[in-house]
Structure 1
Amino acid sequence: MEEKKIKLSREQIKQLSDANAESLQKEIVELKMLGVKEDLNYKDFWRKSEGIHSIFKKITPLEKSERRRLWILFQEVREKVKERQAKEKEVEKRVFEKTSKEIISLLEEVKEIIAKEAAEPYEVETLLFSLEQLKLVSKGDISALPDTPEKSFIIFRLKKKLVYEENLEKEIAKTIKEADKWLKNVAKIKFEEIKASLNKLEVEIDLLPLSKLKKALKTISNEIMGPYLVKQQKEELKNQIVRLSEKMEKGKKDNSSEKIPKEKQEAKAKEEEPAQQKIGSKKMKEVKILLEELEQSILKQS
């Protein structure tokens, strides 16, 4: 048997129509609120939008004027989100292109420096900074980008990783590996140079006047504090400085000074006053202070 359709009165139809309009409007308002969220998920928005579109097709009764009004409201919400999404895609495209250019620039900068056998401190500092940026980029870290509206957009809106040309990924990894190898080699050379300077200073310390000792220690200090060395190398040099300082404190002379040819020692003695030929107590104290300051500087930097 077929079920009999219940015939509704005009008043009942009106009540049901009003309820349908209210329910549909509520859905559209929720969609609108979703569309203005700062961290809008477009998939969620368009999924809900499709659901409302289906409701429009099926819902009845609904007065013609109300259907038209709600449809216009629905379309306005959709259009605003479409415009927003299009703008964000344009920004994404711009960021993509800009990021790729910045990566290429960083790669060229790094390659230019590591093509040299040696580099000035400022070049090594530039290299270290550029490498850090490349390593961040390779992990998709947004902090590698300069502070720009696009960066804020990605952080607060997209919450995405950096994107760039795919073929740059291997190039980044290769360049980072080559640069790290170059830095290790440069650090090794610089470490041996500083170590040799300290050894020489230890040998000649009782023959050099205070002014030359200060100058030598200043040079050594600048090189140790520079960007070349790694923590382990600085620690080893610090220990060497500590040993030298302890030796001076005990007032012991380094027998290795005998390695200096006798002729040179005699010539040195003629050039300098007798008081300068050996470390006096005042000189010893000042040099020890300089050594301790250098030791503390290394500790702070480590």
Structure 2
Amino acid sequence: MPEDLAAESAEFGGAERDESKALDAVMAERHRLLSLAFRMMGTLADAEDVVQETYVRWYRLEPEKREEITAPAAWLIRVASRISLDLLGSARARRETYVGQWLPEPVPADLFADTAGTPPNSSHLATDPLERVTLDDSVSMALLTVLESMTPAERVTFVLHDVFGVSFDEIAGVVGRSAAATRQLATSARRHVRRGRRAQVSPRQHDEVVRAFRDATVGGGIEDLLRVLAPDVELRVDGGGFVNAAPRVVRGSDRVARWFMGVMRKQPALRLERRDTADGLGYIVQNEGRRYGMVTFGVGGECVTNVWLMLNPMKLTNWSLD
């Protein structure tokens, strides 16, 4: 083989290897992007759509444009955030016509473990710890329901800054605001979080209260259940139009207790099997050996303060009976 041809072949092979490495690096960000998009959108199906569209935009770039991007991971996060911002408006419109109550999707405790924090090639995590909300449970139902009360811009800003550590200067380019206005969005979002959260309890206390709820529901009486429910407890049920469910929020310990006792009386084959959720101990609901639903809990003090019951089969795909 002539020397020039051999050199050309070696150069081509090197370029091909470099391109393969670059592709591997970009694809390695997929789980992290899914984690980001889930926090933005609240369901895995919507998050998958965001991630897919993000990669479509990456591959549509001219090779020269891709080579100019020095931090592909940061580029992917910015683009996924812009797509999420655009989709959140239409998602809200869809939820106005949703059959019954809409809830975010409950997910296993470890589904997005170790995906938050400072993105690669980013040096702008807030230095003042008071500027950040502690988010050990940043995919919990407790927080995701609070995120639903935010405007799309607040939600995107909160997730990017307080969960993923992106600077306000970069977020400003995503939401189309100044850095100062973006800081205000974050402040407003944190107010939502603080208003929506009760005093935190330890994981151990949370699980003890939840076990007491299960024991009272399955083998106890209404008085036993009333003792474990906060007076102002709220029950939300998402059936998605697939399953008969409470069309509105059930409020108050007496109403919630009677609702659960009524369900157990009408469907004696129901079984509760423990699962570790992002909120702590929860239960998958079985009906005659089939997956029927997933129930997760908010706990304050020694009582259940919130019950989230997911019956929509489209939001139960991450839960199996095994």
Higher RCO, 1 vs 2 (CA within 8 Å, ≥6 residues apart):
2
With structure 1 as the length reference, what TM-score do the two structures score? 0.26
Larger Cα-atom Rg: 1
With structure 2 as the length reference, what TM-score do the two structures score? 0.25
Greater percentage in helix:
1
